[in-house]
Amino acid sequence: QMLQELQVDTAFMIVDAVDVGNGFMDYGVDEVSQKRLVLHNAKRCIMLCDATKFKNSAFVNVCPLSTVQGVVTNAEADPADLKVLREAGIQVIQAQKKK
């Protein structure tokens, strides 16, 4: 109930999988309803997804790509996946490789 009353400017969220065709996904059914509620009450959502989350599917869809405004990922993320996100209008912030 507290989450229903929570209003945030920017929600930073993690998910278990990113399927560029199906969106952001999770294995925990219990967590999904909470995440959806936060997404609904946030003005902006940034997903934190390392390279291991891409090209995977999980049990339940949290939200489509169009719900999210930004993705933060690591240097190992596949450029093809990041291109799809950018083409969907999502800002992508990618860490640089260590020199």
Residue 31 has pLDDT above 90, yes or no: no
* Token digits of residue 52: 């291991």
Structure pTM? 0.88
Average pLDDT over residues 31-59: 92
Element (H, E) at 18: strand 17-19
The rounded percent of the chain whose pLDDT value lies above 70 is 95
1 pLDDT tier (thresholds 50, 70, 90): low
Q: Give the amino acid at 43.
A: K
Strand spans (E) along 1-99: 8-14, 17-19, 23-26, 42-48, 60-63, 70-73, 91-94
